[in-house]
Amino acid sequence: MISTELLIVGAGAAGLSCAIGAAREGISEIVIADALTCPGGILPQCLHRGFGLSMYGREMTGPEFLAELLKDMPSHIDLQMETMVNGISRDRTAVLYSKNGPEKISFRYLIIAAGCREKSFYSIPVAGTRPAGVLSAGLAQQLVNLKNADIGERIVILGSGDIGLVMAGRFAELGKTPVAVIEQKEKMGGLARNQHRYIEANHIPVITKATVDEVHGYPHLTGVTVKHLDDGRREFIPCDTLITALGLIPEKTLAAGLYENGCAPDWLAYSGNSDFVHEIVDGVVRDGLKAGKEAAEYLRKDV
């Protein structure tokens, strides 16, 4: 069994910042475990600008922001990529699963910084077939920006959160046709700057007070039916791709078994989007630095 003072689950912006914050306070034994092949979480796939304005005073892409963040990473932090964390116990042990097999680790403090998972399109009432061509916005961003995949030509985006707006603009940039952004509320969501930069600048149609309630085609998507929520009218829109940006769910399931009578142990904390969904990554980093400092304060007392 290996041991550490601080175990951090997730090597995205939050997890890296937690480690930096704790190291600044003198914590020397820090392990970060992440299932991905490289650190940064979703930052490497975010090729659009908009990161770092409040922290660094300039707009950067996700990879540029990550590069700045990694400059502050102390060399003694044990960053274990391609490693899953499972079986966390109340005796402050967990199991790390990597390509070398399982390994047990003991820790004194645990921070969950595993980010969010996307809400599935098929978690909402929808009729029709289950064709290829329906993707979440995060998956679409990964395929397009990291894999250079061509996922479609005529694209409908359901949901006007920031990632939906960003991807609508990205498709326009690539010469695709974002047919429409569909939003059930009266107004678009997402940051105003993203509305201007990606939707208005590219003249992408927006249909508010509406939702997609049926998909068509098999084995591949051929269109969607949009239901207008104010009058019940239904409208068919031909498309070959549906991108869903329905919101994010903070990832807390890993530590669910640690609670007793609804209370978490005092050696467990959440950070970043595992705690709550932040509007911008700058806020995630500040939250991580604070969580790392609080972990250090706990560890100094718990001796």
Tens digit of pLDDT for each residue in 65-111? 999 999 999 999 999 999 999 889 999 999 999 999 999 999 999 99
The residue-averaged pLDDT of 245-257 equals: 91
Q: Would you state the pLDDT for residue 17?
A: 98
The residue-averaged pLDDT of 12-25 equals: 98
Angstrom distance (rounded) from CA 33 to CA 192:
35
Q: Would you state the pLDDT for residue 1?
A: 87
Q: Would you state the pLDDT for residue 303?
A: 58
CATH numbers and ranges of domains, the chain: 2-117+249-301 (3.50.50.60), 120-246 (3.50.50.60)
Q: Would you state the pLDDT for residue 122?
A: 84
Quote the pTM value. 0.93
Does position 180 have pLDDT exceeding 70, yes or no? yes
- Quote the mean pLDDT of the chain: 95
Q: Would you state the pLDDT for residue 302?
A: 61
Q: What are phi and psi of 90, to 5 degrees?
A: -70, -10
Does position 218 have pLDDT exceeding 90, yes or no? yes
Non-local (6+) Cβ contacts of 246 within 8 A are: 118, 119, 120, 121, 123, 124, 136, 158, 159, 161
Q: Would you state the pLDDT for residue 295?
A: 97
Give CA 43 to chain center in angstroms: 9
Tens digit of pLDDT for each residue in 140-162? 999 999 999 999 999 999 999 99
For residue 219, whether the previous peptide bond is cis, meaning omega lies within 30 degrees of 0, is yes
